[in-house]
Structure 1
Amino acid sequence: MTASASDQHAPERAPTARRTVGLLADPGAAAELARRLGRDLPDLLGRQVGGSWGVEPVETELELDENGALPVVEIGSRALDDRGWDAVVLISDLPRRAGTEPVAADGATGHRVGLLSLPALGAVAQYRRARDTVLRLVADHLVPGGGDTRSGAAAALTRLDASGERTGGDADPEDTDDAGSGGAEEAIDVRLAMTGARGRMRLLLGLVRANRPWRLVPSLAPALAAAAAGAAFGIFYSNIWSLATALGIWRQVVVCVMALVAMVVWLILNNRLWERRTDRSLREEATLSNASTVLTVAVGVLCMFVLVFVIALVGSVIVIPGHYLASNLGREWGVDDYLMIAWLSCSMGTVAGALGSGFADEKAVRQAAYSQRELERRRRLDEQDSSRR
């Protein structure tokens, strides 16, 4: 590979000279992860590559281009010029794809610039995967003389060539053009991806984690109030007690699932969270985004359900005396009776909560359902889609 102009004129470094890697991270989860990497990576790089290393995490808002993608090389090269680092890695919670393959890391070796995309790392063990991936990216590709660090979580990543195909000629015969948020930059010559269905599932779960679905609960205060009111009705209405204990577990499950699905569908449609795109590449982006939206809202609604269930269970134990419950049931009461009553009451409350969610502020729901970077990406794609119509 031909060295870039900046590399050709760079001064010779002594083998023991201290080398510095910069981490430019979006605010929030990415910045927190970068700070942890700043503490751990110097020792790891020293052991794997040798020499003295410094890692400088910097929290900054990484600007998107008109397509809602990150201009990785432009941002990284500007940071190298300003700060004098030996290499730089951008860290973002925006997804990157090469065709259908989720990209965990990109690298422009001639510019000593890389990118770590958090969603492709999945929802669990994200820090360990991020640490190993950045270590492999820097040591193997961005810094001359680096060693082979294909160990740990990064060993499962497949290197793709510049066209998005797997190195070694084992690529699938499918469209491998860069799509959507993946962006296409000619200078990027290294892509590390988790290929296949496992990689796509990891990307989807990583997007859900980036959206932080538990934030939906406080933004759905009207729905929560309506759900609590509906659950209270079930606690105070004695006919519900008999019905709840007679339904059995499987019918309770069906009622519960129907209530949860109704609320998820209502939230998505009422708050216009579903994406519709006309352009082919944008439709592919919309498919992934819509799948993450459904899971994000579903997890948020489930969190609300659990909260209402706990309230309903405590309320039923306090309000319904055991002997009075036994007299209504015509038999001895048990702990499972209170659980079934709270469960059915909570399912009823969830249906009422779906109606109450219509009074929630749409802007607040959208901000709670998505990360800030996803909101910005959607806005850019809306503008791009509108311009093509």
Structure 2
Amino acid sequence: MPVDAQDGPGPEDVVVGLVAAPGPAGSAVEPAALQQELARRYPGTGWHVVPVVDALVVPPATDDELVDAARDRLLAAGWDLAVCLTDLPLQLARRPVVAHASPVHGVALVSVPALGPVGLRRRGLALAVQLVEELLGGGAPDVPGEGDRARGRRLRHRARQLAADPRDDGGEAELRFTARVLTGNLRLLAGMVRANRPWRLAYGLSRALTGALAAGVFALVTPDLWAMADAFGALRHAAVAAVAVGATAATLVVGAGLWERAPHRRVRKQVALFNLATTATVLLGVLTLYAVLLALSLLGAGVLVVPDLLAAALGHGAGPGDYLEVAWLTTSLATVGGALGAGLESDAAVRQAAYAYRGSEVAPADA
């Protein structure tokens, strides 16, 4: 029978708090899907998943700080277990930590960026179920002759024990699921950039886009620019484009103060990942802006630049390649104009690209 995550918990249900950081992290695990999968795995146990939006901590923060904050939330809400979906990157000895289970606290963490940019819901659900099993003692293997109802009572008893406030930190060891150093860090960085949604940065830079379009229109109808575009080779065009994109990105990062500094040595690696994700987000956003401007420049060149005038300025016949060169150089110069406009953007508009800034937006805690 389908399980409705919105129904209230029964007296015999194991209550799992699913705490997600504000933003894309909450899409990694659907509460109803988790409840249904747990019910399928343990048919003799009632399950109730309570979805909550709460960042729990202000970044940068360690996984131990997250566990403590989640434990406080668990005790305050009266849950049996807590699974937290965080957008913070967690590491252990240079290895990305994908998940962290603390049976003594009844708390598990999932670092959503470490799941990578694709297959998020499938991997997130499988990992959340595995973490609940680990919190309950490795999945609570079957006892010979034990039925579903008896097993369910044993699991509920185990969950109630975890929910009791521990007197010390002794007991079972904490478990961390780590990934390979190289591929894991690349997947982690890709997941952080995906969570930042860099393609939305170009849409938010209205002043930068306006400045770029104004610069592009003036450049597009200048015969001297046509001659320069014709004289440039592909390598020079690429170099000018790289400088234009880099200048715009640097203006955004420096102007809005997106570069973070580590307040403590223990979070230095995490802050370094914040800065890498922010820089990659800004670069991809500016490249998106560049691609849009290139398409508009090609359209504008086809409409505004008369073939006979272009041929006269170049001293030879004008073909599609010449129009592409004109549009390419126009786009590069327009992007530099966009860098000037980017300096006029409000900090709030630009700082959405900063990973730590986005992660620190704590939504009101749900009841």
TM-score normalised per structure 1: 0.72
**Residue from 46, 50, 62 that aligns with 2:55:** 62
C-alpha distance in 2, partners of 1:95/1:144? 26
**Uncovered stretches (5+) of structure 2, i.e. residues with no partner:** 1-11, 142-168, 363-367
Task: State how far apart, in whole Å, the 1-side matches of 2:70 and 2:353 are.
Answer: 30
1:135 aligns with 2:129: yes
Q: 1:117 to 1:350 in 2, by over 3 A?
A: same
Q: How does 1:13-32 map to 2 (within 5 A)?
A: 19-32=14-27
* Aligned residue-pair number: 323
Distance 1:187 1:359, change over 3 A: farther
Aligned to 2:107: 113
The CA distance in 1 between the partners of 2:268 and 2:74, in whole Å, is 35
Contact 1:120/1:202 (8 A) holds in 2: yes
For normalisation by structure 2, the TM-score amounts to 0.76
Map Cα deviations across residues 239-271 of structure 1 (whole Å, 9 max, x no partner).
Answer: 222322332322211111111112222222222
What is the letter of the counterpart of residue 21 of structure 1?
A: V
One-letter code of the match for 1:111?
Answer: H
Deviation track 1:200-255 (CA, whole Å, cap 9, x = no partner) reads: 12222222222222332244222222211222122111222232233232221111
Q: Among the aligned pairs, what percent are the same residue?
A: 35
Matched, 1:341 2:329: no
1:314 aligns with 2:314: no
Q: How far apart in 2 are the matches of 1:225 and 1:294? A: 23
Instruction: Describe how 1:23-62 pairs up with structure 2 within 5 A.
Output: 23-34=18-29, 37-46=30-39, 48=41, 51=44, 54=47, 56-62=49-55
Q: Look up the match of 1:301.
A: 286
Report the aligned-residue RMSD. 3.1
Amino acid across the alignment from 2:136: V
> Structure 2 CA distance, aligned partners of 1:327 and 1:99?
65
- Distance in 2 of aligned mates of 1:337 and 1:190: 61
Within 2, Cα distance between the matches of 1:293 and 1:65? 17
| Aligned residue identity for 2:27 | E
- Equivalent in the alignment of 2:118: 124
Identify the residue that residue 175 of structure 2 maps to in structure 1: 190
After TM superposition, the structure 1 stretch with the greater mean CA deviation from structure 2, 248-257 or 83-92, is 83-92
Contact 1:21 1:87 in 2 (8 A): yes
Q: 2 CA distance for matches of 1:276 and 1:244?
A: 42
- Give the partner amino acid of 2:103: T
Contact 1:95 1:117 in 2 (8 A): yes
1:134/1:282 CA distance change after superposition, 3 Å: closer
Change (3 A) 1:86 1:283: closer
Q: Residues 161-240 of structure 1 correspond to what in structure 2 (within 5 A)?
A: 189-240=174-225
Q: Deviations over 1:1-22 (max 9, x none)?
A: xxxxxxxxxxxxxxxx765533
